[in-house]
Every structure is written in structure tokens, then in C-alpha cells.
Amino acid sequence: MKLKNKIALITGASRGIGKATALLFAKEGAKVVINYFSSKKEALSIVDEIKKMGSEAIAVKCDVSKENEVKEMINKTINTLGRIDIVVNNAGIVYDIPLFERKIEQFKKTIEINLLGTFLCSKYASEQMIKMTNGKIINISSTNAINSFSPDTIDYDASKAGIIMLTKDFAKKLAPKIQVNAIAPGWVYTDMNKNLSKEFIQKETEKIYLKRFAQPEEIAKAILFFASDDSSYITGSVMVIDGGHD
């Protein structure tokens, strides 16, 4: 098992990529902290599923954009499980709204959850990792930060681009003992994309070399790579997972 006895905190873990990652990490031997904000029932269901695997898990409610709540989540993780070896900053939101209809409140909320949340969780978890002199941080960015531009998600795109630079800055600051990397997925079949029209999905699928969206489990495998010793000589990097894209 690649993560035997490791302690992993995964934000936004009650669904989609976060859920798939939590289950895969548990299968690989990790004890997992399932962070959620509103989906308590789903989070507890994942905890039960992990316990049935024979591993350990807890669910922790936290708004990652709130500094005090992040501190409490980190402290609860350490008090309950002893330490934090791995952090996956996955929590995020998106609004699909025409650019000139975007409200300031929506823009701020997207930046606060996606970018500030990643910063806060990385900052307070890494303080503990520094004491242990090791750790892994994996941030979830997006191809929207690189080459899939969408004016209707301008704040999301900006937040995900910020995550890439945040990844590189943390990687430099925390080297050589703590590794910080990012994943940039393209289209993935998740709840975040469940309201897309069939016509839009077909149009986007035609742009993908592999002619399909990714499954969350496929993204989770890449996150596992960065969380495990398989990536022992990689930090400050961004892995694009988009099935090939024009």
C-alpha cells in the first residue's frame, strides 16, 4: 500500500474528485479526514465506507475561506489522528454566469473559497509539517488556469491560475522537506458539471483527443501519485490531465 499509516486531509471531500481521492487513499492505507461544508450526510457516508475497508476516517465541517475554522480543522486532525502527512486542497466552487452579469459578491466568494482556502489550509498544515520535517501538499487547479479560457467563469479561471502560482511559491518556501504540487484537470464528470447541456458536452467532447470527460477516479490516481513516494523528486510542478485537448 502506497500510503500505509499516512494521515491525509482532503478538503471538499464529500463528492466528486475529493470523494474519489478519499476512497483511493483509504484503499492505499491512509487515515483520512473528510472535510465538508454543507454535505454532512454524504461526508459521514464516506467515513462509514472507509471504516468498512478497515481504515480510519473522520468528517470535519469547515469553511476553508475562514481562517479560524481552518485552524480548528487542523487542530482537530492533529488531536484526533496525531499529525498531518498529506493535504489535498480540493474544495472549490464555480458560477457559470455571463461576464457582465457577474456580481462582486460572487467573484469574491469564488476567490475566497478556491484561492484563499488553498492558501489557509496550506499555511496552517505546513506549519505542522515543518515540525515533522516532511509532508505533501497537492492543490487542485484546472486547465481553465492554463489554456481553456471561459469569460463566463472569469473568477474561477483567475482563482485556479492563482493556485498554480501559490503552488510554486509554497514549493520554494517549504523545500526541501515538503513537496507541493498541483493537478490541472480538464473536463471531469462531477456534480459541478451535472447541469451542462447535452449539446455543450458534445461540443466540448469533440475537442478532447480521447473523446470523453474524465472520471473522478482517474484524477484521484494522479493525486495519489503526488501524495506517494512515487513522486519523491517532484515539487512545484503542475500535471495537466485533460485527455489531450486542442
Residues assigned a catalytic role = 156
Nearest to 180 by CA among 221, 149, 139, 150: 139
Q: For residue 105, with 0-12 CB atoms within 10 Å meaning exposed, 13-18 middle and 19 or more buried, which class applies?
A: exposed
Tell me phi and psi for residue 193, to 5 degrees: -110, 10
Non-local CB neighbours of 72 within 8 Å, separated by 6+ positions: 62
Nearest to 162 by CA among 178, 150, 146: 146
Give CA–CA dist 57/190, Å, rounded: 23
